[in-house]
């Protein structure tokens, strides 16, 4: 087998994201993760939806599919079911995945297809001049909005849990090494893995910036949080684990957790179809 280098996972196209965009960090983390996992680029496929994040496959040396608005998950699941030997990653923004794609987000959790879904969350529609995204909080006003946001925010972690995702994590776009490890763990999980990435948008979101996040982020695993849910856990113990997950998933403001929140075992959709 040919020895692969990190450069073998990089395309010859230069990203055209805005200077300082968190997408650069996510792209680097994904390239490093694929390299460290020694995944064959010819057996790796990255699917994307629309928006700034959708350009990710263009900058990776692997198979890539730029899909339709909100439809990345059904297309990625179809590819995995048709070609189980492929390593499949789906990527998309909060507007793509939790706006028009919200129905597919929920339905994917019911199936538990073996793939990783990475959600780039900058709280705005960055490619179309910064309209409020599904994760922007009620009453918050970025510099791109004429008035404060009149809608409440969706919590991606809680929605993933309620939908049935069996691995749930959160990373930070500027922590490339930490994000790389989360991508590797998510790709190694047997079942549907969801990675929520906090991704500052320096162009349109002047509320949740790099400077705002820096003093607030902390790592769950470094504080002793165990995300593993053993099979056959008694109902009372499972209730406690779910309550702790909810507590951490709701934590926002002065302290914001990153790391792995939930890791459970369940038959994959592929196994159920056999």
Domain membership of residue 11 (yes or no) is no
Which structural domain range is residue 157 located in?
A: 18-265
Question: What would the pLDDT profile of 131-141 be if each residue is shown by its tens digit?
Answer: 999 999 999 99
Structural domains counted in the chain: 1
Residue 8 lies in a domain: no
| Nearest Cα to Cα of residue 133 among 174, 104, 142 | 142
Model pLDDT for residues 7-26, shown as the tens digit of each residue = 999 998 889 999 999 999 99
The predicted pLDDT at position 127 comes to 84
Q: To the nearest whole number, what is the mean pLDDT of the chain?
A: 95
Is residue 112 in some structural domain? yes
The residues of the chain scoring below 50 in pLDDT are none
- Rounded CA separation 58/155 (Å): 29
Tell me the three state secondary structure of residue 93. strand
Helix (H, G, I), strand (E, B) or coil at 185: helix
∠ CA 68-74-77, rounded to 5°: 130
Determine if the pTM surpasses 0.85. yes
Residue 38 in tokens: 């020694």
Q: What is the pLDDT of residue 1?
A: 53
**Domain holding 249: CATH number?**
3.40.50.970
- Range 227-235 contact pairs with CB under 8 angstroms and sequence separation of 24 or more: 227/168, 227/259, 227/260, 227/261, 227/262, 227/263, 228/263, 229/262, 229/263, 229/264, 229/265, 231/265
In a domain, residue 271? The reply is: no
Tokens in use for 194? Answer: 């969801």
Q: Is 2 within a domain?
A: no
**What residues form DSSP beta bridges with 47?**
65, 90
Confirm whether 125 is domain-assigned. yes
What is the pLDDT, as a whole number, of residue 68?
93
In a domain, 1, yes or no: no
Residue 235 maps to a domain: yes
Q: Smallest Cα–Cα separation from 30: which of 39, 42, 17? A: 39
Question: For 187-235, what is each residue's pLDDT tens digit?
Answer: 999 999 999 999 999 999 999 999 999 999 999 999 999 999 999 899 9
pLDDT (0 to 100) of residue 130: 81
């Amino acid at each position: 087998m040919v020895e692969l280098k990190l450069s073998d996972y990089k395309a010859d196209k230069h990203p055209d994201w805005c200077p300082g965009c968190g997408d650069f960090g996510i792209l680097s983390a994904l390239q490093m993760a694929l390299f460290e996992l020694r995944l064959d680029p010819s057996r790796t496929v990255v699917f994307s939806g629309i928006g700034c994040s959708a350009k990710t496959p263009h900058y990776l040396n692997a198979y890539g599919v730029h899909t339709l608005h909100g439809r990345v998950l059904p297309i990625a699941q179809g590819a995995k079911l048709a070609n189980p030997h492929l390593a499949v990653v789906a990527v998309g923004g909060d507007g793509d995945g939790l706006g028009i794609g919200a129905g597919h987000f929920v339905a994917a959790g019911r199936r538990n297809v073996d793939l990783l879904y990475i959600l780039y969350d900058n709280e705005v529609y960055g490619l179309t001049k910064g309209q409020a995204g599904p994760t922007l909080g009620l009453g918050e006003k970025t510099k791109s909005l004429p008035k404060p946001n009149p809608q409440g925010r969706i919590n991606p972690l809680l929605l993933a849990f309620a939908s049935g995702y069996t691995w749930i994590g959160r990373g930070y776009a500027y922590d490339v090494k930490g994000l790389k490890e989360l991508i590797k763990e998510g790709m190694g999980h047997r079942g549907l893995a969801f990675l929520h990435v906090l991704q500052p948008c320096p162009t349109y979101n002047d509320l949740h910036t790099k400077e705002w996040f820096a003093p607030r982020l902390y790592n769950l695993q470094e504080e002793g949080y165990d995300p593993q849910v053993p099979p056959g856990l008694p109902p009372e113990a499972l209730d406690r684990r779910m309550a702790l997950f909810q507590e951490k998933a709701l934590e926002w403001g002065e302290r914001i957790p990153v790391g792995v929140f939930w890791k459970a075992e369940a038959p994959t959709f592929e196994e159920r179809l056999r």
